[in-house]
Chain A
């Protein structure tokens, strides 16, 4: 027991890797066995994450379950893990969505073993980002997650997968290039990659940097501003913030259902998490200075994302653009908090909302992609105009879709409402104009959600599907139920998760 308690984070982090290796040892022909093994194995990290959730004491400050070991001493980087309230909730989200995505991926029959193993490796990559307290380690996991995702899209995606996966990879890698250079610069300047140490050293840095050979001499603040933008762009691509979002509709649409669930549910959160864990602590001054720009981009993401979503006739693409819309609220909340940085009630509320929105969007986006996948698998079509009147044909599916769509729309009583309300409430006094404009986005959100529901479930019945089995099956219901339960639970009583987030957010401003 003590061993588990002392190495809880490492166990969470590497149990998926071990599971992936074990899955790979199974005979490739035993498809059923592989599916069962992978799905059951992915419950181990979930169990450990639940343990972490209850063992985590939100009232004490600082990082908990810290583990530190020598890793790459030559350049001053170590294996350094730790968790606070934000990482704990993200870990919970990741470990919850992985088993569900694996369960929904039981319909994959081509190279099942490789698929499942890659998926589990992807989980390690994502968890590593949320748990790293070493800047280099953070970057390692940040990039490591790309590779399995690339192959999941490239090998198991739909028709346009080559283009989509290449775009995804090159976009993200190009974004990471600036991040890599900035991390090197910080590492050289601070002499360490320990995030806690860097935070004090790098923010306090004001003497001229010893950077020889730059063609023009740059002041320290200019260098910091450039490094700030390098970080911001890398994370903005991942979130994605308008106008860096163009990879997302392609990648989400072409990915297999399980991949889309994780992509929207967790991968986008990595970018937002980067803002919270790195950008705000490392660049408080720059974040304050450019908070308005971030806020504007976030607002544009909300409004334009909603309009773009409304304009889609492809069901999956519609849901993909809705992610841009919803993640905009996360950015808006972060920008508002960065703008004041004083621990005032508004800032705290906005940031609470942003973190909770990360969690909530994880649930609802995963749910929506799951449901899109269900209908696509049965009709082999994503065209909204080819559907119509499915409610009587598939009543259970219709009910679930309506429920999930309402959560995504922000209906009071379900989770989306709570977090979007918090963001709006917190940002209103700080960035009033942007918040007001973002209301347009909220309105259009209603429009595109209702458009989707109408085209799929209502309207004249498309006769083509009358004798077609459309109803959701038990396995898929099993996968979507936990998501629905959490949506309702957070919607009715958000206190259990907000308490943990709030305690961390309060400390973020010292």
Chain B
């Protein structure tokens, strides 16, 4: 296939952003339709790429490059996908499409809103497909910057400035630390290249890896929300407008986790072995502590924000097992959590837009006025609890099996997170969607529009599809996990 599908997917958004800026700002419907068309194109192309990947061949496919970019420094444009990042490309396609769908009602400067959202999407796509370390950092920063504007301008008025600042500082500091580690690799390898496939063969000494691994891994893991540097994420989620929260929790946190895997674990496997116990401990705290904090929140959106912290802990746990089951589960969890949390934030947004409050105690009875939204939230909740038949179970089960092989005690402790999650999800479903609808809302709650419906059905459908038929994704991710493990001397 000579069609450069990956480049097209990642540059459609930024091209769209440029087109949007050229459109007159008051033609709001035109802007929305252009945005929707572009998002749909990204979505369909990522689906196409997902299903045309040849699993029998494996390895990096749809490769482009390396084309010299800054030749003198060994920086090139080099992209390709394998079993680990292809699902994430699909995830990004899904989230950008549904994110635009549910943002139909954004009325404040939609042109700029969608343009920044698309710039963000380019950054995210770019990171997932990068095979060049410098290029990865380049796109990483492209993804972080529009986030600041999106939150600070369109966010929740009460905390948006604080949250945007906090998020940006955390992420920049994280990425600077990671960059230091990356530069150390570049100079030590002394191969005049940033190409990650070449760097995989660099053979860094164990002492080097022991020292530099934490820089790279934890630098990126900040964006993955690892304890104790997870603090930016609930604040950021809550302050962001709905589509941005979806992007933020659904995709951006995966960006951190993926980069930690791609640059940290895959380039310095020895370092990963040495530091894995610490990651296990921190990620276990994520899982259990995150769930406990979620349980005591009074704000609907904060519950979901902290639940993301808890669930991303499972991804990190899967990484830290450094075995096939754990990594496969982590890959599945990244996808599953991305879709699930996008669904959650979409629902929260729909409720908030109508009730103008997120205080759980003031909500109630919403299943009567928005039955589809209630069903969607319940499905997301079941995924979150790890209920069999939904994607969460499919993702968590191998992670736990991987943990049993590596550190059984962690499996047992982390399993507590499941019960805690069940209790807060059940509580929210009961409080927000059932019971009596408060007097002040009666007759004031408008139903959702068809764009919202498509988005909810698509997201919920994916969660069920993977839950019922895991083979649609698991073998692909397993092949990616095998490729990661091959770097550990065929472990």
Contacts and interface: CB of A to CB of B under 8 A. Distances in A.
Interface of A: 70-75, 136, 139-144, 147, 154-155, 162, 166, 169-170, 173-174, 177, 180-181, 184-185, 187-188, 210-215
Given A136-B397, A214-B408, 14 more contacts: A71-B470, A72-B471, A74-B398, A75-B401, A139-B388, A144-B389, A155-B434, A169-B422, A170-B422, A177-B419, A181-B411, A184-B400, A188-B325, A212-B407
16 contacts: A71-B469, A72-B474, A74-B398, A74-B475, A75-B401, A144-B387, A147-B382, A154-B430, A154-B434, A166-B426, A170-B426, A180-B418, A181-B400, A184-B411, A213-B408, A214-B409
Contacts of B23: none
A74 B400 contact: no
Contacts of A155: 434
A136 B389 CA distance: 11
B426 A140 contact: no
A239 to B, nearest CB: 21
Given A74-B478, A154-B430, A188-B404, A213 B388 contact: no
A74 B323 CA distance: 13
Interface in B376-428: 382, 385, 387-389, 393-394, 397-398, 400-401, 404-412, 415, 418-419, 422-423, 426
A73 B472 CA distance: 11
Nearest to A74: B474
Contacts of A184: 397, 400-401, 404, 411
Given A155-B434, A170-B422, A184-B400, A73 B412 contact: no
A211 to B, nearest CB: 5
B10 interface: no
A140 B393 contact: yes
B328 interface: yes
Contacts of B401: 75, 184, 187-188
A70 B469 CA distance: 10
Interface of B: 325, 328, 382, 385, 387-389, 393-394, 397-398, 400-401, 404-412, 415, 418-419, 422-423, 426, 430, 434, 469-471, 474-475, 477-478
Contacts of A187: 401
B470 A140 contact: no
Given A72-B474, A73-B474, A185-B404, A169 B426 contact: yes
Contacts of A181: 400, 411-412, 415
A71 B328 CA distance: 16
A169 B426 CA distance: 9
Given A144-B389, A211-B404, A162 B328 contact: no
A71 B467 CA distance: 11
B335 to A, nearest CB: 14
Contacts, number: 94
Contacts of B434: 154-155
Nearest to B416: A177
Contacts of B477: 74
Contacts of B475: 73-74
Nearest to B402: A188
Question: What secondary structure prevails in chain B residues at the interface with A?
Answer: helix
Nearest to A137: B388
A139 to B, nearest CB: 6
A215 B412 CA distance: 13
A212 B322 CA distance: 14
A163 to B, nearest CB: 11
Contacts of B405: 188, 210, 212
B419 A212 contact: no
Contacts of B407: 212-213
A188 B407 CA distance: 12
Given A170-B422, A211-B408, A214-B409, A74 B328 contact: yes
A173 B419 contact: yes
Nearest to A139: B388
Contacts of A70: 471
A239 B177 CA distance: 56
B287 to A, nearest CB: 14
B418 A177 contact: yes
Nearest to B399: A184
A212 B276 CA distance: 14
Nearest to B481: A74
A189 B300 CA distance: 41
B406 A213 contact: yes
Nearest to A173: B422
A494 to B, nearest CB: 36
A140 B404 contact: no
A136 B325 CA distance: 15
A140 B400 contact: no
A177 B470 CA distance: 22
Given A72-B394, A170-B422, A213-B408, A140 B388 contact: yes
A38 to B, nearest CB: 19
Contact of B470 (A74, A147, A162): A74
A220 to B, nearest CB: 14
B430 A72 contact: no
A141 B325 CA distance: 22
Contacts of A170: 419, 422-423, 426
B469 to A, nearest CB: 8
A184 B389 CA distance: 17
Nearest to A142: B388
A185 B403 CA distance: 10
Nearest to A215: B409
Contacts of B430: 154, 162, 166
A147 B394 CA distance: 17
Contacts of A210: 405
A141 B382 CA distance: 14
B419 A143 contact: no
A70 B472 CA distance: 11
Nearest to B423: A170
Contacts of B409: 213-215
B26 to A, nearest CB: 41
Which 10 A/B pairs are nearest by Cβ-Cβ distance? A140-B388, A74-B474, A213-B407, A188-B404, A72-B470, A143-B388, A74-B478, A144-B389, A184-B400, A75-B398
Contacts of B412: 181
B320 to A, nearest CB: 12
B388 A177 contact: no
